Amino acid sequence: MITQDRKNSTRQTIAEVREFLGDRLSTSMAVREQHGKDQTWAAGAPPDAVAFVEDTVEVQKIVKICAKHQTPIIAYGTGTSLEGHITAPFGGITVDTSKMNRILAVNAADLDARVEAGVTRKALNVHLRDQGLFFPIDPGADASLGGMAATRASGTNAVRYGTMRENVMSLTAVMANGEIVRTGTRAKKSSAGYDLTRLLVGSEGTLGIITEVGLKLYGIPEAMTAGVCCFPSIEAACNVAIDTIQLGIPVARIELVDEEHIKAINAYSKLELKVAPTLFLEFHGTAAYAREQIESFREIAEGHGVGAFEWAEREEDRQKLWQARHDAFWATRAIAPGKQDVFATDVCVPISRLAECVTATQEDLRSNSLYGPIIGHVGDGNFHVVLFCDPADAAEVGRVKGFYERLIHRAIAMDGTCTGEHGVGSGKIKFMEAEHGKGLAVMRQIKHALDPLNIMNPGKILAL
Instruction: Compute the least distance from the CB of residue 406 to a second copy, in Å.
Output: 17
Radius of gyration of the chain (CA): 22
356 binds a second copy (CB under 8 A): no
432 binds a second copy (CB under 8 A): yes
> Of 276-315, which residues contact a second copy (CB under 8 A)?
286, 288-289, 292, 296
361 binds a second copy (CB under 8 A): no
Per-residue mark of binding to a second copy, 314-343 (x: CB under 8 A): ------------------------------
180 binds a second copy (CB under 8 A): yes
User: Which span (20-28, 161-169, 267-275, 313-321) binds a second copy, by CB under 8 A?
Assistant: 161-169
Distance, in Å, from the CA atom of 223 to the CA atom of 402, rounded to the nearest integer, reads 45
181 binds a second copy (CB under 8 A): yes
* Residue among 289 and 371 whose Cβ is closer to a second copy: 289
Distance, in Å, from the CA atom of 414 to the CA atom of 297, rounded to the nearest integer, reads 27
Instruction: Compute the least distance from the CB of residue 174 to a second copy, in Å.
Output: 10
Instruction: Compute the least distance from the CB of residue 132 to a second copy, in Å.
Output: 9
Instruction: Compute the least distance from the CB of residue 241 to a second copy, in Å.
Output: 11
166 binds a second copy (CB under 8 A): yes
* Residue among 260 and 451 whose Cβ is closer to a second copy: 451
Q: For residue 58, give Cα distances in angstroms to 9, 21, 217, 440.
A: 20, 8, 28, 33
Instruction: Compute the least distance from the CB of residue 431 to a second copy, in Å.
Output: 8
Q: For residue 246, give Cα distances in angstroms to 230, 249, 278.
A: 20, 8, 20
Distance, in Å, from the CA atom of 214 to the CA atom of 216, rounded to the nearest integer, reads 7
When binding is defined by CB under 8 A, the residue of 315, 448, 463, 464 that contacts a second copy is 448
129 binds a second copy (CB under 8 A): no
DSSP string, 63-132: HHHHHHHT--EEEESSS--SSSTT--TT--EEEE-TT---EEEEETTTTEEEEETT-BHHHHHHHHHTTT
78 binds a second copy (CB under 8 A): no
User: Which span (1-9, 27-35, 40-48, 155-163) binds a second copy, by CB under 8 A?
Assistant: 155-163
When binding is defined by CB under 8 A, the residue of 59, 386, 418, 455 that contacts a second copy is 418
* Residue among 295 and 315 whose Cβ is closer to a second copy: 295
442 binds a second copy (CB under 8 A): yes
Amino acid at position 454, single letter? N
Q: State the alpha helices, DSSP H only, in 138-282.
A: 145-150, 158-161, 164-167, 196-200, 234-246, 259-269
Instruction: Compute the least distance from the CB of residue 26 to a second copy, in Å.
Output: 30
When binding is defined by CB under 8 A, the residue of 9, 34, 70, 352 that contacts a second copy is 352
8 A C-beta contact, residue 462 and residue 432: yes
* Total residues at interface with a second copy (CB under 8 A): 92
Instruction: Compute the least distance from the CB of residue 346 to a second copy, in Å.
Output: 9
367 binds a second copy (CB under 8 A): no
Count other C-beta atoms under 10 Å from residue 160's C-beta.
Answer: 17
Query: Pairing mode, if any, of strands 93-96 and 73-76?
Result: parallel
419 binds a second copy (CB under 8 A): yes
94 binds a second copy (CB under 8 A): no
Of 211, 183, 206, 208, give the one whose Cα is nearest residue 101. 211
Count other C-beta atoms under 10 Å from residue 405's C-beta.
Answer: 12
8 A C-beta contact, residue 170 and residue 183: yes
Q: Element (H or E) spanning 209, and its range?
A: strand 208-216
When binding is defined by CB under 8 A, the residue of 94, 140, 428, 455 that contacts a second copy is 428
219 binds a second copy (CB under 8 A): yes
